[in-house]
Amino acid sequence: MFTMTINELASRKLRLLTTAFAILLGVAFISGTLIFTDTVGATFDTVLADVDAGVDAYVRTPSDINAGYGQGPRLDASIADTVAAVDGVDRVALRINGYARLVGRDSAPVGDITGGPALGMNWVTVDELNPWVISSGRPPAKDDEIVIDQQSAETAGYRPGDVVTVLTKGPQREFTIAGVARFGELDSPAGAAVVLFTDVTAAEVLASPDEASAIAVTAEDGVSQQALATAISAVLVSDVEVITGAELISENQASLAADFAGFSTVLLCLAMVAVFVGAFIINNTFSITVAQRTRDMALLRAVGASGRQVQLCVMMEAVVIGVVASAAGLAAGIGVAGGLESLMSQFGVDVPPGPSVISGTSLAVAFGVGVLITTLSAWLPARRAAKIAPIEAMRSVSVDDSAGSARRTILGVTVSAIGVGAVLTGLSLDEITVLGSGALTMFAGVVVLGPVLARPAAHLLGWPLRLRGVSGEIATRNAMLSPKRTSRTAAALMIGVALVGFITVFASSTKASIAGSLDDEFVGTHIIGDGGDDNATGLSPTLADQLRAQPGVDIVSQARLAPAVVNGSATDNFYAFDATTVDSLFRLGHVDGDLDSLGDDGIAVSATYAKDNALTVGSSVPVTFIGSASTFAVRAIYSSGALWVGDNFVDLGAFTANGLDELDYRIYVSGDSEAIATAAAADPSAMVQDRAEFLDSKNASIDQILGLFSVMLALAVFIALLGIANTLALSIGERQRELGLMRAVGMARAQTRSMVRWEAVIVAVFGSILGLAIGTFFGWAVVQALADEGIDTLSVPLTPLAAITLIAAAAGAIAAVLPARRAARLDVLAALASH
Amino acid sequence: MTVTISETPSRLAHFPARSVPPNPSPCAAATVRNAVKVYGKGDTEVRALDGVSVEFMAGEFTAIMGPSGSGKSTLMHSTAGLDQLTSGTVLIGETDISSLNDRRLTQLRRDRIGFIFQSFNLVPTLTAAENISLPAKLAGRKIDPEWFAQAVRAVGLEKRLKHRPSELSGGQQQRVAVARALASRPEIIFADEPTGNLDSLAAAEILSFMRSAVRDLGQTIVMVTHDPVAASYADRAVFLVDGRIVDDLDKPTTTSVLDRVRRLGS
C-alpha cells in the first residue's frame, strides 16, 4: 500500500508541491516566530544577567503596579547609609530612574518616542553595580556633565565635549557630554534613548532630592546573596523590600519575556490563521483528487483491498506531504526568524548578535502542528475514499455537482446562528474566549453553507462576465459546476479577507468615532503632546505655565497619566486633569456634583462607570498608585467625554500628593494659534496640533496598525490564492477533453486563458464577499462592545472594502496565470483523446 | 442491415444553401499533397502518413476508411488543422494551413471547419442550444437565428434545446454535434467516427442527416470510419493502409466496401 502512496505522490509532483507549499508557509511562520522568540529571549536574558551580574542584593519599594518604562516606586535615599552599615555589605549604590530626553542639533528630541522610551538614569560609580560601560569619553565628574547611550550618540551625531539641552520634568537644562556608554553589549537597552547623570543631578532632575528608585548592593567575599538580603531586610522598615541579585535578574528577564509574549502571541495567531487556511487547501485538494481517482480506488476495492486500506492509503499520502512540508517549513522558519529580527530593528529594537536558539520544543511544536493539520484535513476525503464501492470502477467518474441539500442549509444556518449568538454573548459578557469560539463557529457555519451559496453566487457574479463573451459565460458555468469545490476554494480566501475586512471596518469606525467625539466633545483649539502615547514620557509642567502666561491663550488644561489600580481593577491610563478647566475644554454633558470641588481627595467618574460600579456622589473609590494608595470621594459624575477624560479622573493635585512625577501627558488648549505656537516653541518636545492635525495624526497611526496587520494577513491570503491555483489546475486536469473540444471548434488560446482567469476571479470575489460580510459583522459587533470606551460609531468604508474585493479579484486572476497557461497550451489532439 | 434513407423525407428541404451550389463543378474543399507524418525517431519511427495526396471535393461526402493504425485519423486531423504534418501541404479552400500560426489556425477551425467527434462532442456545462452556437459565440458573432432554427430542425432537436449533454442520449448528443457543425455553415465538416458509440438505429439517423446535408445543401463532409455501413452513406470512400492511399471508391455500398476491406486485409 505504501508503495502505491509513494508512486501516487511521485506522479503528481506539481500538486504535491502546491499543497505542500501551503503547509510549508504556515509551519515556517510558526517555527520562525518560536525561534525568534527563543532567540530574543535568550539573548536579552544574557544581557540582563550580565548587566546586573554584580548585584548581590537589591532594595526597593514594593509595588503591585507595573510602571513599564514610566516612573517606578521611589524610596528614601538615606536608606543607603543604613544598608551600607549592615554586616556583609561591601559596596552600595543608588539607582535613580526617571524621565529625561536629549535634544538633538535640530532642536528636536533625539530618538523616536514611539520606538523606544526616553529615560534618565544616574551614573553608578561602583563598577560592579553599573550596567553601563564607557565606549568613549569618561564618566560624568561634575553635576553638569552627562553620559549618553551609544545609539543616541550615533543618531544625533554627538561626541564627548558637546554641550546639549536635556528635557526633564523640570525646566530644560544644558549639560556637557562627558562620555558615551553602552548598556552591556547593547548600544542602548531596548531602543531607549538614555541620559546618565551624576547621583546628585539625577536625584534632582529625575526624582526629588534625597529620593532614589532602588539601592543596589554587593556582598563581601563569602557572603551569600540570600544571607545578605536577609541581613539587610532585618535592619529596614517594612515598606521597602530586599531581593537578591539573582531574583532581580530573573524578574527583569520575566518582565521582558512578558513584553515579548504579546508580540509573539500576535505573530503565532497570525501563523495559525495561515495554517488554518492551509488546512482548507489540503482538504480541498484531497477531496478533488479522491473524486478524480474514484475509479482507481474502486478497482483496488474490486481486487480485494478493504475500505480501511484505501483510507489508510490516502492518509499515508497526507502524512508524507505533512512530514515533507513541515520539515521544509522548519528550515524556512529559520529564515523567517531572521526576517522578524530585521522587522524589529525597523522599529528601533536591535536584537544583540548571538546564535539563533533553535529549541527542540519549538521545532517539535511547529512540526507537529504541520503534520497534524495536514493529516486532519485529509481525514474526511480519506473516509469518503473508504466508502467507494468496487462497482464504481465500472462507472465513469463524474464531478460532484451536488450543492445545497435542505439538511446542509438547515445545518449551516443553525451553526452560523449559534456562532452569531456566541459572538453577541461573548461581547455582552466581555468574554474573549466565548467571542473567539463564536467567531470560529460562524466561520464553520458559513463554510457549511458555502456550497448552498456557491451556485447562485457564481451565477450572479458571472452575470456581468457574460457581456465579455463566451469565455466569461463558460467560466461562470464552470464555477457553478461543483459548488462544493468552489465554496471550499473560496472559503480559504474568505478567512483572510474576513480578518482584513474586520480590521478595516474597525479602524474606520475608530477613526469615525474619534472624529465624532472631537467634533462633539472637544471644544478647545489645540492639543499639545510629546509624541508618546503612554505614561513613559511627558511634557514638563513649565510648558503649561508658559501657556497660561501667554497672552492670546485662553484656557489650558493639563492631562497626566499614571498606571493605577482603581476600585480593584488595574489600568495603565488613570487620568488627572486640571479639574477647574477641564469642563471648559470638553463637553462633559450633564454633571452631577461639582468638578471644581475635586481637590486632592476627590474623583470624577463617568455616568456609565458610576452605574456599572453602583457609585453616587459621595461614594468612595480606592485607588492604588505606584508608591502609595488613597481613597477618593466621588464629587462629580459626568455623562459624556469619556474618550477624552477616561472613565474617571482626579485633579492634578491628587497625583502630586501621591508622589507621582509632575509630567504632563497632554495639554489641551483653547486660544490663538500663534500665541500657542510661541509659548510652545520653548519646549523642543512639544508637538502642537490643531484639531485637524490631531485627527490626521490619529488616523495615520491607525492606518499604520491597519497596514501592519494587513501585511501579516497577506500571508493567509497568499496561501488561499495558492489554493485557487491548485483547484484550477486540478479542474483543468479533469476537463482536458472539454478543453480540447473547445479548442478544436475554435476557442482561441487567449479565450481559453481568459476563461480560466474569469473562473478564478469569480471564486476569489465570492470568497472575498463572504469574508467581507463576516468581517463587517465582526466590526459591527466589536463596535457595539466598545461603545462604552468611545468607539461608538460604526463606519463601513465602502471604498477600501471595494478595493479589497478588486484586489482579491486581481489576485485571483494572477493565481490563475499558470493554470490558464497550462489550459491554453494543451495539445488539442492529446486532450481530445484523454480520459 | 442497410437502412435506406431515400424514403426518409429530408428535413433539410428548406435549409438555405451555402455559397457552394449543390453538385458543384468539381473544386476541392480541401487538398492534401504529399502528406507525411512521422511519429518518433530512429528505431521507434512510425510513418503514420507516408506520402498521401488526396482532394476532398466540395459538395461531396467522403469516407476515409482503413484498419486501425492505417493513418486515417492522422490524415483527418492534419487536414482539419488539429495536427501538423511532418512534410507536405494541406489547403483548405485555397488557404495553405501549414503556414498559419495557432491563432489563425484556431480562427480557421472556428469559421471554416465543422467538427463531429466520436464522443464527448459537447461542453457538459452548456445546454444543447449553447453548444450549437458555441463556435459563433467564440467568434464573437451572433448566430443567424434562422440558420440556427433550421440546423436544429434538421436534426430534430427542437424539444431538447435546453437540455444539458448529460440529459441527452448518445444519439441525441451526436445530433447536437451535427447541428453545431451545420449551424456555422463551414466550408468543410470533419467527422471522426461520428457513429462509433451509437447503436445502429441512432447511427443510421446521424448518417442520413449528414448525407442530406451534402445532397440538399451542398455541404462538404469528410468522415473517418471503419464501419462499411457508415461508409456506404458517402459519395466516395478512400482506403488507407499503412499511411498510404490504396484505393478510392466512388458511390460505395456496404457490399463493395466490405469487399474492398476483405481484399485489403488479405
Residues linked to residue A593 through DSSP beta bridges, in sequence order:
A636
- The pLDDT confidence band at residue A534, using thresholds 50, 70 and 90, is low
A residues 464-493 near B, CB within 8 Å?
469-470, 473-474, 477-478, 480-481
- The number of C-beta contacts closer than 8 angstroms across A and B is 70
- The pLDDT confidence band at residue A803, using thresholds 50, 70 and 90, is very high
pLDDT at res. B17 = 42
Tell me the nearest-neighbour CA distance from B123 into chain A, angstroms: 6
Q: How many CA atoms lie within 13 A of A755 on its CB side?
A: 24
Helix, strand counts (H, E) of chain B? 9, 10
Tell me the nearest-neighbour CA distance from B105 into chain A, angstroms: 9
The tens digit of pLDDT for each residue in A497-514 reads: 999 999 999 999 999 988
3-state secondary structure chain B: CCCCCCCCCCCCCCCCCCCCCCCCCCCEEEEEEEEEEEECCHHHCEEEEEEEEEEEECCCEEEEECCCCCCHHHHHHHHCCCCCCCEEEEEECCEEHHHCCHHHHHHHHHHHEEEECCCCCCCCCCCHHHHHCHHHHHCCCCCCHHHHHHHHHHCCCHHHCCCCHHHCCHHHHHHHHHHHHHHCCCCEEEEECCCCCCCHHHHHHHHHHHHHHHHHHCCCEEEECCCHHHHCCCCEEEEEECCEEEEEEECCCHHHHHHHHHHHHC
pLDDT at res. A525 = 93
ipTM for this model? 0.84
The tens digit of pLDDT for each residue in B7-23 reads: 344 444 444 444 444 44
- Contact list in A for residue B76 (CB cut-off 8 A) is none
Residues whose CB falls within 8 Å of the CB of residue A70, separated by 6 or more in sequence, listed in order = A534, A535, A536, A562, A563
The tens digit of pLDDT for each residue in A588-627 reads: 888 888 888 888 999 999 998 999 899 999 999 999 988 7
- What is the mean predicted confidence (pLDDT) over B44-64? 90
Q: Indicate the SS3 state at residue A550.
A: coil
pLDDT at res. A350 = 64
Is residue A705 less than 8 Å (CB to CB) from chain B?
A: no
Is residue A386 less than 8 Å (CB to CB) from chain B?
A: no
B residues 164-223 near A, CB within 8 Å?
166, 180
- What is the mean predicted confidence (pLDDT) over B55-67? 91
Within a 10 A sphere around the Cβ of A331, how many other Cβ atoms? Answer: 12
pLDDT at res. B9 = 43
- What is the mean predicted confidence (pLDDT) over A815-825? 90
Is residue B109 less than 8 Å (CB to CB) from chain A?
A: yes
The tens digit of pLDDT for each residue in A642-682 reads: 888 989 999 999 998 888 878 888 999 999 999 999 998 88
Tell me the nearest-neighbour CA distance from A303 into chain B, angstroms: 29
- Contact list in A for residue B120 (CB cut-off 8 A) is 737-738, 741, 832
Q: Using the predicted structure, report yes or no on whether residue A638 has a pLDDT greater than 90.
A: yes
Is residue A749 less than 8 Å (CB to CB) from chain B?
A: yes
Is B104:A750 a contact under the CB 8 Å cutoff? no
Tell me the nearest-neighbour CA distance from B93 into chain A, angstroms: 18
The owner of cell 551614573 is A123
Name which of B134, B164, B173 to mutate to probe chain A: the one with the most chain A Cβ atoms within 10 A of its Cβ.
B134
The tens digit of pLDDT for each residue in A147-174 reads: 999 989 998 999 999 999 998 888 889 9
% of chain A surpassing 70 pLDDT: 94
pLDDT at res. A786 = 79
Residues linked to residue A334 through DSSP beta bridges, in sequence order:
none
The tens digit of pLDDT for each residue in B192-235 reads: 999 888 888 889 989 999 998 898 888 999 999 988 999 999 99
pLDDT at res. A425 = 86
Q: Which residue of B has its CA nearest to A473?
A: B126
Q: Using the predicted structure, report yes or no on whether residue A716 has a pLDDT greater than 50.
A: yes
